[in-house]
A and B are shown apart, each in its own frame.
Chain A
Amino acid sequence: MQRIQIKYTKGEEVKFISHRDLMRVFQRAIRRAELPMAYSQGFNPHMKISWGQALKVGATSEGEPATLQIDGWIKPAELMAKLNKTLPQGIAILEANLV
């Protein structure tokens, strides 16, 4: 079990996406990247990710935080590279660190 904190951008292309939709975009990108995520228990398990405060719709950002819980082990740099390949334009991971 590992926790990796990432810092990501929310650029011009996606600045009008709501926070809730952004969360879904990440979940899909993570699935495409086939990252070994930790899931919650229960009838409808979901990925364990903790998010920073929601940005205002229309605002861009150069560094939003989120923390991903990993079930197993992956190098933060590898996670960053894989995710950057599957995220849509306008969202990029700038940093990934173990916490």
Chain B
Amino acid sequence: MKEIIEQILPNVQKPARYIGNELNSAHKDWDKTSFKVAIAYPDTYEIGMSNLGIQILYDILNQEKDILAERVFAPWPDMEEQLITNNLQLFSLESWKPLTEFDLIGFGLGHELTYTNIINMLKLGNIPIWQKDRQDNHPLIMGGGPCVFNPEPIADFFDFFVIGEAEEVIVEIAERLRDSKLDIRNSKLDALAKIPGIYVPSLNNKVTKRYIKDLTPAPYPLTPIIPFIEAVHDRAVVEIMRGCKWGCKFCQAAWTTRPVREKKMDKIIQIADELIKNSGHEELSLVSLSTSDYSQIQELANTLAKKYEGKRINISLPSMRTNTFSINLAKDVARVRPSGVTLAPEAGTQRLRDVIGKNMSEENIMDGIESAFSAGISSIKLYFMIGLPTETEEDLLGICALAQKIIAAGKKHTNRARVTVNLATFIPKPHTPLQWARQISIEETLEKQRFIKQNLRGKSLTVRWHDASASFLEGVFARGDRKLALVIEKAWQLGCRLDAWSEHLKFDLWQKAFNETGINPDNYLRERSTDEELPWDFIDTGVPKERLLRAANPD
């Protein structure tokens, strides 16, 4: 196998995506390690390697003496072609072993538009895609990550799912499987179904999410893998907090990661030290959903900035609320001045921001903008959603008015002031107070995009928007049910791959897949009645449905 791989690598773009051997990658003795896990991410190497969850699980598993974890990512089409023409199976990065030689394959699922890649990877790995077709000698297929808060569209492809934070339970899973002398697949699944947080679609019908109670002692990779090629985020990353105290009603990330947990400051500093030493990165990023809410953010950022003063290390604070405080803080700690700031008012009027629970007044926005411009920042990125519940033309005009107001404020400071307006289609997500809402159609999306473009003209203004068909598909699968598995398989058969990449998304083939399977996708975008049973109701995130309902309809 090795010789053939060596021969095909020169024929593909970026062979470094497939070869492993990066600094800090784990190389355990294949023959002497009893339990073997493949950590799979159904997108390219660059995307997968930017995923913190993948690095955390890889590290935890490889710390265990008799467990080995290796990585595998979705191949680029040129590699897929080489694998097929050379009759090779998809192989892991570290030992170049085919997927069939692993005991467990765990997929990280961060985006609905990666689902055809799961099928593709299983097929290229010579593993039956349907759970029911797999035999005792096949690896078990596990899924985890944000998407599995509604796993139903892909449930028939997986043996089991981890609901919630997998690092809390991954070793338990591996031990249970390793220690079970049972070779029989069904007995393994029986054993797994008894672990809290594990959902075995063929067995259980209720599951409560698992989460880390205390983030401070939780395992964190101190020797992260350093890719040879540029990953999407090429920087040292310390997670400082999980969860978010703001209950924006559309925000699945916040509603599914409750409660809010902070990592203690001295631990963060200790981790940062190790990461800098072990990575050689020039940027240290303090990440969370809402970094300005970390209780000691100022002290933390200043301490780190002082510590690394002489080392040419830039400290970045993404996900900060844009206000005077955070602009000044970012300016104090960054070695390179950020050239732009990002603001997400999400809706164009106060009325609509109130409806969706976005706690941001126009005054907040303009204060933040003023301090950004005063700090010498010239480019502002604004994020809005279109198609929000109760939205009218007035709200869309509000987006335009706000952008104009900001550019006018900017021009008073500098002629270089620029505003970019990013429009995303609102996608109702499971386990949020807006999970019952209707998602607008592709035609309505295009119409609203056009309307905003027409009303937002100006030299220093740019409007960008999400592809309407990609949002459509994301919406269908986000609130989908088991029937959709057939559509995913069909789309894969027709040639859909890497759908999250606009250059690869073939929407006409998806339409064909819906037609041929007799499934009407529009049905998934409709408004749901509050007494309807939803496909993801069996998952308990810790926030009861009644609470979501109350948040959806206050008073």
A interface residues (Cβ-Cβ under 8 A, vs B): 13-14, 16-18, 21-22, 24-25, 27-32, 39, 43-45, 57-58, 86, 88-90
Known A-B contacts A25-B228, A88-B23, A90-B21; the reply to A17 vs B16 at CB < 8 A is yes
Q: Per-residue CB proximity of B1-34 to A under 8 Å, as 1/0?
A: 0000000011000111001011100000000000
For the complex, is B544 an interface residue (Cβ under 8 Å from A)? no
* CB-contact partner of B10 in A45, A58, A89, A90, under 8 A: A58
When chains A and B are docked, how far (Å) is the Cα of A86 from the Cα of B16? 20
* CB-contact partner of A31 in B9, B21, B282, under 8 A: B282
A88–B280 CB distance below 8 A: no
B281–A28 CB distance below 8 A: yes
Known A-B contacts A28-B226, A31-B280, A57-B10; the reply to A16 vs B19 at CB < 8 A is yes
Query: With a CB–CB cut-off of 8 A, which chain A residues contact B279?
Result: 28, 32
Query: With a CB–CB cut-off of 8 A, which chain B residues contact A18?
Result: 14, 16, 229
B15–A16 CB distance below 8 A: yes
Q: How far is the CB of B222 from chain A (nearest CB, A)?
A: 13
Q: How far is the CB of A35 from chain B (nearest CB, A)?
A: 11
Query: With a CB–CB cut-off of 8 A, which chain A residues contact B15?
Result: 16, 57-58
Ranked nearest first, the 4 interchain pairs of A and B with the lowest CB-CB distance are A28-B280, A31-B280, A16-B15, A88-B23
Q: Which of B316-344 contact A (CB under 8 A)?
A: 336
Q: How far is the CB of B255 from chain A (nearest CB, A)?
A: 38
Q: How far is the CB of A37 from chain B (nearest CB, A)?
A: 10
- Supply 29 A–B pairs (Cβ within 8 Å), ascending by A: A13-B19, A13-B21, A16-B10, A16-B16, A16-B19, A18-B14, A18-B16, A21-B16, A21-B228, A21-B229, A22-B228, A24-B228, A25-B23, A27-B280, A28-B226, A28-B281, A30-B280, A32-B278, A32-B279, A39-B312, A43-B336, A45-B312, A57-B15, A58-B9, A86-B280, A88-B21, A88-B23, A88-B226, A89-B21
For the complex, is B277 an interface residue (Cβ under 8 Å from A)? yes
Q: Per-residue CB proximity of B291-335 to A under 8 Å, as 1/0?
A: 000000000000000000000100000000000000000000000
Q: How far is the CB of A32 from chain B (nearest CB, A)?
A: 4
Known A-B contacts A17-B16, A58-B10, A88-B22; the reply to A29 vs B228 at CB < 8 A is no
